[in-house]
């Protein structure tokens, strides 16, 4: 079989589909992870973030989405804690989904008190210990949270792969 060169547009059409999201991982000064409850899926807790818009970098997406969803304006430097890959889930999400989770740092009590949620997307926020989050979240989602928290505490970067999540 001879190698046949394809023009870029034709070659790209042969590749798997993927979408990308980016978010910021925050804790309070006691190290408790900060998460938002999604309005569109019962029991789904997530970090401030969302899907990338055309022309955005992952970092720009994380900062923009955080501002839109919480009112918090993050001015820190990008530090990637981890990437997350979820396989194509058919009708639920018909493409691979790739995430970039950045370190948002520690929120002060004043910053937490100033959070204003977008009611179209999130109904509440909570700060809990990892043990408390484990009781509240599906195992795959909690595993991602625990891995990202570990990356933050150890100064490493993690890769989390999962297909069983919500």
Q: Residues 68-96: pLDDT tens digits?
A: 999 999 999 999 999 999 887 776 777 88
Answer yes or no: is 75 within a domain: yes
In this structure, what CATH number is given to the domain that contains residue 148?
3.90.79.10
Answer yes or no: is 79 within a domain: yes
CA pair distance 28, 33, nearest whole angstrom? 7
Answer yes or no: is 6 within a domain: no
Query: Using CA of residue 125, residue 159, residue 86, residue 136, what is the dihedral sign?
Result: negative
Which residue segment(s) compose the domain that 105 sits in?
Answer: 16-162
pTM above 0.85, yes or no: yes
- In this prediction, residue 126 has a pLDDT band, given cuts at 50, 70 and 90, of very high
The predicted structure's pLDDT at residue 2: 59
């Amino acid at each position: 079989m001879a190698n046949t060169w394809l023009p870029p547009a034709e070659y790209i059409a042969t590749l798997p589909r993927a979408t990308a999201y980016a978010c910021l991982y925050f804790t309070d000064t006691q190290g408790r992870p900060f998460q938002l409850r999604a309005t569109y899926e019962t029991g789904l807790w997530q970090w401030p973030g969302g899907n990338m818009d055309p022309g955005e970098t992952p970092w720009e997406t994380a900062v923009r989405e955080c501002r839109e969803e919480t009112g918090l304006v993050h001015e820190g430097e990008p530090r990637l804690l981890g990437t997350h890959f979820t396989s194509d889930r058919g009708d639920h999400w018909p493409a691979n989904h790739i995430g970039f989770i950045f370190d948002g740092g520690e929120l002060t009590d004043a910053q937490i008190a100033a959070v204003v949620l977008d009611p179209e997307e999130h109904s509440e926020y909570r700060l809990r210990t990892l043990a408390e989050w484990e009781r509240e979240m599906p195992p795959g989602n909690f595993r991602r949270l625990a891995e990202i928290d570990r990356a933050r505490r150890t100064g490493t970067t993690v890769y989390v792969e999962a297909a069983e999540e919500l």
